[in-house]
Amino acid sequence: MTQNENKVYEIRWHGRGGQGAVTGAMILAEAAYMDGYKGVTAAPFFGAERRGAPIIATNRISRDEIKTYSLVEKPDIVVVLDETLLDVIDVTNGMKENGIIIINSTREPGDIGISAFTVATTDASHYAEEAGLVVSGATIVNTCILGAISRATGLVSLESIEQAIRNHFSGSAAEKNIKGTQLTYEATKLSGEWKL
Q: What is the CATH number of the domain that holds 110?
A: 3.40.920.10
Residue 16 region by backbone torsions, left for phi larger than 0, else alpha for psi between -120 and 50, else beta: beta
Beta strand 118-122 pairing with 77-80:
unpaired
> If you compute the radius of gyration of the chain from its CA atoms, what whole number of angstroms results?
15
107 domain residue, yes or no: yes
Q: What is the pLDDT of residues 50-98, one digit of tens each?
A: 566 788 999 999 999 988 878 898 999 999 999 999 999 999 999 999 9
Query: How far apart, in whole angstroms, are the C-alpha atoms of residue 70 and residue 93?
Result: 17
For the full predicted model, state whether its pTM sits above 0.85: yes
Q: For residue 2, what pLDDT is reported? A: 46
Instruction: Report which residue type is found at 86.
Output: L
- Answer yes or no: is 57 within a domain: yes
Whether residue 193 is contained in a domain is answered as no
Q: How far apart are the first and last CA of the chain?
A: 7
> Is 83 exposed, middle or buried, given 0-12, 13-18 or 19+ CB atoms closer than 10 A?
middle
Number of domains in the chain: 1
Q: What is the pLDDT of residues 133-150, one digit of tens each?
A: 988 888 899 999 999 999
- Indicate whether 79 belongs to any domain: yes
Residue 32 pLDDT greater than 70, yes or no: yes
30-49 average pLDDT score? 85
Looking at the DSSP bridge assignments, the partners of residue 9 are 61
pLDDT (tens digit, 9 = 90+) per residue, 148-168? 999 999 999 999 999 999 999
194 in any annotated domain: no
Instruction: Please give the residue range of the domain that contains residue 122.
Output: 8-188
